[in-house]
Amino acid sequence: MTQLLPPIGAVLPELVLAISAIVLILIGAVRGEGSANLVTGLAIAVLAAVGVLVLLQPAVEVTAFNGSLVVDAYSRFMKLLAVLGAVVSLIMAVDWQAREKQAKFEYAVLVVIATLGMCMLISAGDLIALYLGLELMSLSLYVVAAINRDSIRSTEAGLKYFVLGALSSGMLLYGASFIYGFTGSVNFLQIAAVAKEPSFGLIFGIVFLLAGLCFKVSAVPFHMWTPDVYEGAPTPVTAFFASAPKVAAMAIFVRVVIEAFPHVTHQWQQIVAFVSLASMVLGAFAAIGQRNIKRLLAYSSIGHMGFALVGLAAGTPEGVRGVLLYMSIYVVMTLGTFACVLTMRRKGQAVETIEDLSGLARRNPVMALALGALMFSLAGIPPLAGFLAKYYVFVAAIQAGLYGLAVVGVLASVVGAFYYLRVVKIMYFDEPVDDFDPMPTELKAVLAVSGLFTIFYFVYPAPLIEAAGAAARSLF
Amino acid sequence: MTLLLVVLIPFMGALLPPLVIRSGRNTCAVATGGVTLLALALLMSHAPAVFSGEVPKAGVDWVPAMGLSLSVFADGLGFFFAAMILVIGLLVIVYARFYLSREDPMGRFFAYLLLFQGSMVGVVLSDNVILLLVFWEMTSLTSFLLIGFWTKRADARQGARMALVITGGGGLALIAGLLLLAQAAGSYQLTEILSRGEMVRASPLYLPALLLVLAGAFTKSAQFPFHFWLPHAMAAPTPVSAYLHSATMVKAGVFLLARLWPVLAGTEAWFLIIAPAGLVTMLIGAAIALFRNDLKGLLAYSTVSHLGLMTMLLGLGTPMAAVAAVFHVINHATFKAALFMSAGIVDHEAGTRDIRRLGGLMVLMPVTGTLALLAAASMAGVPLFNGFLSKEMMLEEAAHTSYLGLDLLFPVLATVAAVFSVAYSARFAIGTFLGPVRGDYPHHPHDPPLGMWLPVAVLVVPVIAIGLFPGPVAGPLVALTAAAVIGGPLPDYHLALWHGITPALVMSLVAFAGAAALILAFRRADALRARLPRIDAKAMFEASTGMFVVGCRRSLVALHDGALARYMGVTVATLIAVGGYGFWSATHGAGTRPPLPVTATALTAFLALVLASGGVLAFHGERLTALILTGVVGVVVALAFLQFSAPDLALTQISVDVVTTILMLLALNLLPKATPREQSLAVRWRDGTVAGLAGLGVAGLAYAVMTRNGTSISEYYLTQSKPGGGGTNVVNVILVDFRGYDTFAEIIVLGIAALAIYALLDPALKGAAVRRIKAMLPRTESRDAHPLLLVVATRVLLPLSLVVGAYIFLRGHNEPGGGFIAGLVVAIALIMQYIASGYGWAAERMKVDAQSMIGAGVAIAGLTGIAAFAFGRPFLTSTFGYLHSPVVGTFELASAMAFDLGVFLTVVGVMLLSLAQLSRVAHRVDPSPESREPMDVQLERTVPRTAGGES
């Protein structure tokens, strides 16, 4: 049966985003260059409102557009997380844009459009909706990576991301067409109903599809763009890249393998386990030699995606719950870390090397403490939130019998601890260098919330775990 | 529940010292001590129960879904360790009150100390393995805060960092180990795990779990090969050293081995790994300690050695050795903490810790001297002190140990270690306190205030008491703790001073004799050592981490060098690898569909295609050649479409090809004529190989699909085209009807693309871009830019082309053609006018604005769709129903054609807009006056080209 109009409530967040994006473009176009602050402010308000709308959606599973979009507990959880990442990274961009004289209203609009793409992606119930959401998100990201047109690094980052992104989209489409060809459907649930046997063509399709998705979550060996783009893009953009799109891409990654291929679990499990392993190891080892903090965080994010994928490799509800928890904690930690990176400005100039943090503990003890806690947490040291994140995925992997993966993961985190602790060492034990410029209030707030969450999450983790558990169960 | 409070009170109490520090340093110390005392009192309230054999438990659920609970239990082992931690903590607090100077931030120090204390108590009392892990790493973190307390000193920083890297990393390995252990035992509760030793040892996870647990325990307890971090952490203030690095934290590893003894011990792997590691640590630590001149360094290596001793005993795996290990933990904690505090007093009073600048202090500070000598005697293993007893037990065990058939290995090496042990104890005692009084101490040493030596005295009391009356004083505690470690019946042992003439006694005597010789010949031994190659484990650690960092940088970081080609290569190569793996590991074969017959024409076209494609590769540096060859490819593809009965596609292909080639030619005029070669031959070969393999892969896949019979949707379109869409040209019906929505979106995209070309070329109209393009322009130009023949031909062809366009447009619905192709044909005709007579001439006569044309096209197509609403149909799909309606049957063609008209207009507009902007750029860089004439054959154009590129 053909549905002409979807249930409005189910797609309300997306509708609000789409309409707002158009309105914001018009405001920006009519009011011209000086409208950046107004548009950014409105965009923040819109994103916050969308977050509330997602939160208010009733806890039932609704499908729209003949199953193309699915609104369930899982999509609500991930959307909330993606919107959180988007809104916080946009807030963090305000002061930076003003200082760099890079106030452009287009940035906020593109973030809103990218968020729309993410919401569609997270809710996608078939391969076509997946592709549409993915491209809407990616195209916006290509542009924001190069938003600082006068910087060679920024434009180069955008170009590289675009070329490689186009390649990966091509692979994804190739895979999707294989899957369609061998199952006769694009809808995840219908694919699952047909794909009971691992046929050669189906496996090929899955490989190509997952290759495209791996690119988006920057999993090895499709991660090559990450360091260059993280380093080249303006820092608030990098903060955005590191948070919201990762959530959305991981969300669809999980949804597509769990919902569409439950009968060929063994096959995709091998792929996921491999990229997870490779990401953890490469992320840990490659980060060691880095001096630029943005590049360091790029490799760190590659590693973290590997850890999150450990949960997916388990292929169980517990594993998916682990992925959700990992992504939640990861987003909070990342945003807090980038609040610090954005503060790294000296006499109006942004500085990016790790050595610029030297002796921070004596210059700004509170920031050093918060960043130190985040680093310990990223390293996965108990009892900080990052430890529990790793714990959730590793337990799931062990329960699923993936002992090797869990052990290699832990060993990779040992190597990873080496470079996170190096940052701590530099902050606490090296001779202080000049002070940073004063930290804007909104960055202070982000850092404070992130730091406190990281330190005290272990006291009362139950609500998040329950929400993630409910979200994970809605996929099975 | 009070047991849980024992763990929590130090954490809550940690808030107190910073708050009360304003009321004075004494208040602060009293508050800290009070907190510790309260925890100790609560612990002691369980003492009767523990001693009567019960195991008090307490706990609250934390995250039951995750197997996390905040549960603690106090069996003999946990109780003993907790008591030890709290008692020594109390003494350290008293000591620190007097040790810290007025400038030191005491509130912070005590807060950290309490946090550490709480973590440590948590480690030993945890019932949940995850909780244990949490506390375990918290000891690392809080010790980091404590060690880093003296941040001004460079050595303190290095020490702290190394300590953190090693113990933190080990802790992470321990996480994996304990998770595997819990999996093997099927529970996260230690009490459960401890009762399932058989099950764990039989599990395949036993060995990995053991190795990972050992990585955690060995790093924490500074066992070989991780023994080097501990001495370097000694730059910390003395109270910290005394507390962390002798009495408590470094014992956590030993504690863990003891804790898991019932589960993990008793296997070959346990003995073969742990016992020699402990033995080597004991030997190396003792040997290095002897030659240390820094008092704290000497004590630090001595601690390493003693930890090795305990580890070795636990590693032996026999109940008797376990009893000895437990006994030695008690003894070591007392005498070593006392010695550290004494060393701190000496440092405080004499102003140096260098043994070469000390001596004779016995006279100046008799109280400290006496206490230190007593403790040192115990460390040496002199009879009548507690150190003697446990060392005898160790030697006795070593004497009966055979390692891999080597009967003498353990006894001999243990004796050698004992020699060194006695020797360094003697050196410590003699070098510091005995001998003549010197006149060159940095300060004027005298006995410290009571508060500083009293803790030492308190610790020396058990040293002597146990040494004299081991049975009555330590017996119950040893029995209780050992029973908890062994988890079964205790072996037949008795703690006594005199066991008769045993192998151990002989070994002890040998040790004393050897040590005496060693001390007498110390100068010669030291000189000998100085001549030996120095093995500096710390430097090796630094060097190896340095090499590690450089290695990572050279390999992995260099891999990400920013070259896009490499990044794409990695991506594609991965897919080839995966595809290849899939190909070889699965069953496969060509399909059953018979191939079409090969005709001579087809073969020729195919060869042309191959040659042209190869030519593009070979000549891609010369852009014009490459463009021409691409054109050939396009033509062959169009022919192929024709061959497979797809005239629409062929028409589209050929017209698109012509238009793009013309536009590209115009663009090429403004670009460098050749692509610079930036890559070496090797790189090109690499890329060529990857690309070739990928091509083969895709070709193989295409072959596999095409040789199979599949159901296709084309049948549906063929049958539905006429009844459903009203046209017999299926391609056109699909475009304007079945998939009209797609087409609508496509023409919008096309329009946007034209606007993007317009916008992107805009910067080329001014500034540096214009200068760059000028520099690239050829210096000579054809004299006859607008040749007569071309002008005449295009004029004649224009009406003809327009008619052909209209014809193609009109027949589109039923025969090959349609708005898209018609638009391209008309666009070609118009572009030819521009080329023939120049942009200025043609633009004057072109009255329609390209942007408006695009807008009109999109608007017409959109309105056609919206018109459907009037008939109660959804957007665009209405055409379907609309056509079926018998009433408006006459309009059926008109509706589809209106849509097609939109397509037509958009296509023409897009082409003209691109052309216009390209011409503007060309005009800007070539400022020669635009000719108003249609051709320049009649006037000799001799305008000198001034813009040759010199700019």
Q: Hey, are the CB atoms on B560 and A406 less than 8 Å from each other?
A: no
DSSP result, B767-831: HHHHHHHHHHS-S---S-SS-HHHHHHHHHHHHHHHHHHHHHHHHTTTSS--HHHHHHHHHHHHH
Distance, CA of B804 to CA of B801 (rounded, Å): 5
State the pLDDT at residue A196.
Answer: 87
Confidence class for position A470, pLDDT limits 50, 70, 90: very high
State the pLDDT at residue B488.
Answer: 75
Helices (H) and strands (E) counted in chain B, each on its own, are 43, 2
Confidence class for position A2, pLDDT limits 50, 70, 90: very low
CA dist B136 → A191, B127, B144, B808 (Å): 48, 13, 13, 81
**Residue (of B312, B144, B150) closest to B224 by Cα position:** B312
- Calculate mean pLDDT across residues B914-924: 82
pLDDT tens-place string over residues B609-632? 999 999 998 888 888 899 999 999
- Calculate mean pLDDT across residues B262-270: 88
At B61, which helix (H) or strand (E)?
strand B57-63
Range among A119-133, B487-501, B804-818, B824-838 with highest mean pLDDT value: A119-133
- Calculate mean pLDDT across residues A368-396: 90
State the pLDDT at residue A5.
Answer: 53
- Which of B19-23, B118-122, B650-654 has the lowest average pLDDT? B19-23
Confidence class for position B540, pLDDT limits 50, 70, 90: confident
Tell whether A168 lies on the interface with B, counting CB pairs under 8 A: yes
State the pLDDT at residue B892.
Answer: 46
Confidence class for position A59, pLDDT limits 50, 70, 90: confident
Kind of pairing between the strands at A69-71 and B57-63:
unpaired
CA trace torsion A144, A149, A150, A155 (10° rounding): 70
A-contacting residues in B 173-202 (Cβ below 8 Å): 173, 175-176, 179-180, 183
Q: Hey, are the CB atoms on A289 and B550 less than 8 Å from each other?
A: yes
Tell whether A132 lies on the interface with B, counting CB pairs under 8 A: no
Domain locations in chain B?
1-261, 265-491+502-516, 533-581, 619-675, 728-775+785-929
State the pLDDT at residue B241.
Answer: 79
Query: What is the share, in percent, of chain B residues with pLDDT greater than 70?
Result: 91
pLDDT tens-place string over residues B136-168? 888 888 887 777 666 566 666 677 777 777 888
Report whether pLDDT(B182) > 70. Answer: yes
Confidence class for position A24, pLDDT limits 50, 70, 90: very high
Tell whether A476 lies on the interface with B, counting CB pairs under 8 A: no
Report whether pLDDT(B881) > 50. Answer: no
pLDDT tens-place string over residues A136-188? 999 999 999 998 888 888 999 999 999 999 999 999 999 999 899 888 899 99
Distance, CA of B346 to CA of B364 (rounded, Å): 11
**Residue (of B615, B626, B514, B622) closest to B286 by Cα position:** B514
What is residue A126's DSSP assignment? Answer: B
State the pLDDT at residue A420.
Answer: 87
* Helix A225-232 / helix A235-242 crossing angle, nearest 10 deg: 140
State the pLDDT at residue B564.
Answer: 85
State the pLDDT at residue A144.
Answer: 92
Average pLDDT of chain A to the nearest whole number = 90
CB A373 within 8 A of CB A454: yes
Domain locations in chain A?
263-475
**Integer Rg of chain A from CA:** 21
CB B827 within 8 A of CB B659: yes
Report whether pLDDT(B948) > 70. Answer: no
- Calculate mean pLDDT across residues B802-829: 83
Q: Hey, are the CB atoms on A417 and B169 less than 8 Å from each other?
A: yes
Which of helix, strand or coil describes residue A359?
coil
Model-level pTM greater than 0.95?
A: no
Q: Hey, are the CB atoms on A215 and B172 less than 8 Å from each other?
A: no
Tell whether B160 lies on the interface with A, counting CB pairs under 8 A: yes
Which of helix, strand or coil describes residue B457?
helix
Report whether pLDDT(B886) > 70. Answer: no
pLDDT tens-place string over residues B452-467? 888 889 889 888 888 8
- Which of A97-111, A293-307, B131-145, B606-620 has the lowest average pLDDT? B131-145
- Calculate mean pLDDT across residues A423-430: 82
Tell whether A460 lies on the interface with B, counting CB pairs under 8 A: no
Query: What is the share, in percent, of chain A residues with pLDDT greater than 70?
Result: 99
Report whether pLDDT(A52) > 90. Answer: yes
State the pLDDT at residue B919.
Answer: 82
CA distance A425 to chain B (A): 6
A228 neighbourhood in chain B, CB within 8 Å:
560, 562
CB contacts < 8 A (A, B): 171
Q: At which residue do the structure tokens 């593009």 appear? A: B616
pLDDT tens-place string over residues B80-129? 999 999 998 998 888 888 888 777 778 888 888 899 999 999 999 999 88
Report whether pLDDT(B505) > 70. Answer: yes
Distance, CA of B904 to CA of B906 (rounded, Å): 5
Tell whether B603 lies on the interface with A, counting CB pairs under 8 A: no
Q: At which residue do the structure tokens 């060859």 appear? A: B629
Report whether pLDDT(B47) > 80. Answer: yes
What are φ and ψ of residue B728, in 5° steps? -100, -15
Tell whether B731 lies on the interface with A, counting CB pairs under 8 A: no
Report whether pLDDT(B346) > 50. Answer: yes
Confidence class for position B887, pLDDT limits 50, 70, 90: very low
Report whether pLDDT(B951) > 50. Answer: no
What are φ and ψ of residue B406, in 5° steps? -90, 105
Confidence class for position A321, pLDDT limits 50, 70, 90: very high
Facing A398 at nearest CB: one of B172, B180, B568:
B180
Distance, CA of B420 to CA of A335 (rounded, Å): 55
Q: Return the amino acid letter for B378.
A: S
Q: Which residue has the higher pLDDT, A394 or B503?
A: A394
Average pLDDT of chain B to the nearest whole number = 82
State the pLDDT at residue A19.
Answer: 96
Report whether pLDDT(A341) > 90. Answer: yes
- Calculate mean pLDDT across residues A308-321: 94
pLDDT tens-place string over residues B464-502? 888 888 878 788 888 888 888 887 777 777 777 777 778
Tell whether A274 lies on the interface with B, counting CB pairs under 8 A: no
Range among A295-309, B550-564, B618-632, B645-659 with highest mean pLDDT value: A295-309
What are φ and ψ of residue B57, in 5° steps? -130, 155
CA angle B864, B866, B867 (to 5 degrees): 65
Report whether pLDDT(B543) > 80. Answer: yes
Report whether pLDDT(B236) > 80. Answer: no
Report whether pLDDT(B934) > 80. Answer: no
For A403, which residue in chain B has the nearest alpha carbon? Answer: B180
State the pLDDT at residue B894.
Answer: 55
Tell whether A413 lies on the interface with B, counting CB pairs under 8 A: yes
State the pLDDT at residue B939.
Answer: 47
- Which of A46-55, A328-337, A389-398, B431-440 has the lowest average pLDDT? B431-440
Q: Which residue has the higher pLDDT, A2 or A283?
A: A283
Report whether pLDDT(A90) > 90. Answer: yes
**Residue (of B521, B471, B536) closest to B499 by Cα position:** B471
State the pLDDT at residue A3.
Answer: 47
A211 neighbourhood in chain B, CB within 8 Å:
571, 574-575, 578
State the pLDDT at residue B880.
Answer: 46
State the pLDDT at residue B938.
Answer: 54
State the pLDDT at residue B947.
Answer: 45
Distance between the two ends of chain A, CA-based, in angstroms?
25
State the pLDDT at residue B949.
Answer: 40
CB B569 within 8 A of CB B687: yes
DSSP result, A172-206: HHHHHHHHHHHHS--BHHHHHHH--S--HHHHHHH
State the pLDDT at residue B883.
Answer: 45
